[in-house]
Structure 1
Amino acid sequence: MEGKRDPYAGMADVYDGMARDRQVREAYRYWRELLLQCASERKLEIRTLVDLMCGTGNTTIPWTRRAGWRVIGVDRSAALLRVARAKSDRVRWYRQDVRRLRLRERADAVTCHFDALNHILEPGEMQEAFRRVARVLRPGGLFLFDLSTAAWFRWLDGRDKVSRVGRNFLMASNFYDPKSRIVLFTQHWFVPRGRLYERRTIAVRERAYPVAEIRAMARAAGFRVLRAEPQWTIGGKAVRRVFVLERRAQDPFPPRVHC
């Protein structure tokens, strides 16, 4: 994960507009249906849901349609949260870093989507994020998230892309270091401003985590792995994998009250 600088400052409107993409909308629907299916299988009644690294709230807000649910959105980007807050006042929005997550509420379900956890570059910090989520979840609660894989980063390596996204144009480049398993994404967006285009640039890094490493972190944090399955594949290789974890019944992390 990048440092204190907000890489999405000045990019929130562009980022939010990507939710109109058909494949993105299908992913939202798949994740929602999967969580509800797993909750039904485990006979889990969800009353409080926390959506981590929620961006502009596109994965968060649909849950407010569920009667009786309390929905919480968490992101470290002030720019993205400003857009989210303007879109819904039915969500409790918090600006926090998942690696230092501290909530008063305990949740029945936690979600984190669109490979957001790949932005955590250090395994020790990823382990801490898992521990923080475990503290938020009630025993028996579910944690659903997805991760991009090394196969995806290898496929992207060196591939430049020029495309149109709505009214905007995108030029993207990707460079992957297999030794560190870190990829650098650089995107130049051209956004119409009158008769001209304004260029906005964002560069972020992500790290690939092997399934075995994620399983070990989950167990160490107090989770049972229910699912670790491909969501998207290219050439028979998983490029995005979805995980569903269950907070074990024993409670090694008693709830804490934070001001």
Structure 2
Amino acid sequence: MKPRPPFSILARRYDRLMADVPYEGWAAFVLAALAGEGAVPRDLLELGVGTGNALVPFLRRGLEAVGVDASATMLAVARAKLPGVPLVRADVRALRLGRRFDLVYSAFDSLNNLLTPTDLRDALAAARRHLRPGGWLAADLNTPAGLQELWREEVWEEDGVRLVYGYDPAARLGRLEVWVEGERELHLERGYEPEEVRSLLEALGYGPVFCLTYPEGLPPGPLVERFWVFAHRPHAP
């Protein structure tokens, strides 16, 4: 059976499966980190908005928001949940919305779906195009160690959903096979190291760039499994 596109059949059960994800905690963490840099965003663009859950804490705080995702089915769920919020189907690597924001946000390892450093660089460049001078990018990513731990060979089943995990250390790729009601879709993620992401961002003209662990707010150590990266778009060209 040919697999369906990622986040197509999963959209039916996504919110139920992710009920314990700390969207509120992530938003508070990001806003506190930015406040420490003297930044108070008024609006944001989310890359990989999915079903919209990660936008809700920002909307509650009065921020204006736009969401972008490649999955039409995930966006359909988000539109039902967030009427009035602009939600755009697009490839984040080639995004051109014609407007800028104080914050570009990407949560829940959405950027790990970009499977080469070139793809990631293109997405980070697109994020920069959509930041006002003085704005910030905030994104969380899985490292290779994180994917190896989280996506190790195992099978998980609940409520008609079957998840089959695997990891290829040579390619640094995690593989997730999702079965819902007899249909199958395939997800791949690539792990990125903090210094690898920092180098890409600095080469694109971001600065300062720093990485933190959640919720501790500490610089990531050598075996960190997940980290947040914060990158500033300077006022100078």
Does TM, scored on the shorter chain, surpass 0.5? yes
Q: Is the 8 A contact 1:159 1:174 kept in 2?
A: yes
Q: Which has the larger share of strand?
A: 1
Out of 153, 158, 174, the residue aligned to residue 165 of structure 2 is: 174
Deviation at 1:229, TM superposition (A): 2.4
Partner of 1:135: 129
Deviation at 1:11, TM superposition (A): 2.4
Determine the C-alpha separation between the residues in 2 that align with 1:56 and 1:157.
22
Partner of 2:51: 56
Paired amino acid for 2:16: G
Q: Is the 8 A contact 1:153 1:183 kept in 2?
A: yes
Q: Residue 147 of structure 1 aligns to a residue in which SS?
A: strand
Partner of 1:185: 176
Q: Deviations over 1:77-129 (max 9, x none)?
A: 11111111111123111111110111122100011011110010111111111
Q: Is the 8 A contact 2:41 2:103 kept in 1?
A: yes
Determine the C-alpha separation between the residues in 1 that align with 2:163 and 2:74.
21
Paired amino acid for 1:72: V
Paired amino acid for 2:7: Y
Paired amino acid for 1:172: L
Q: Is the 8 A contact 1:151 1:237 kept in 2?
A: yes
| Identity in percent | 32
Distance 1:153 1:42, change over 3 A: closer
Partner of 1:83: 77
Determine the C-alpha separation between the residues in 1 that align with 2:89 and 2:201.
24
Q: Deviations over 1:211-257 (max 9, x none)?
A: 22111101012212443123389xx9321111111112212xxxxxx
Partner of 2:219: none
Deviation at 1:153, TM superposition (A): 2.2
Deviation at 1:158, TM superposition (A): 4.5
Deviation at 1:52, TM superposition (A): 0.9
Partner of 1:215: 198
Determine the C-alpha separation between the residues in 1 that align with 2:213 and 2:36.
20
Pairing of 1:190-209 with structure 2 (within 5 A): 198-209=181-192
Paired amino acid for 2:14: Y
Matched, 1:32 2:27: yes
Q: Deviations over 1:32-70 (max 9, x none)?
A: 112221232222232221111010100113322223x32
Out of 122, 141, 145, the residue aligned to residue 139 of structure 2 is: 145
Q: Deviations over 1:145-197 (max 9, x none)?
A: 11111112222455313343xxx2443222222222112111223xxxxxxxx
Deviation at 1:29, TM superposition (A): 2.0
Paired amino acid for 2:199: A
Partner of 1:15: 14
Structure 2: segments with no counterpart, 5+ residues: 217-221
Structure 1: segments with no counterpart, 5+ residues: 190-197, 252-259
Kindly tell me the number of residue pairs found equivalent between the two proteins: 229
Determine the C-alpha separation between the residues in 1 that align with 2:87 and 2:215.
30
Distance 1:46 1:232, change over 3 A: closer
Structure having the higher Rg? 1
Determine the C-alpha separation between the residues in 1 that align with 2:32 and 2:39.
10
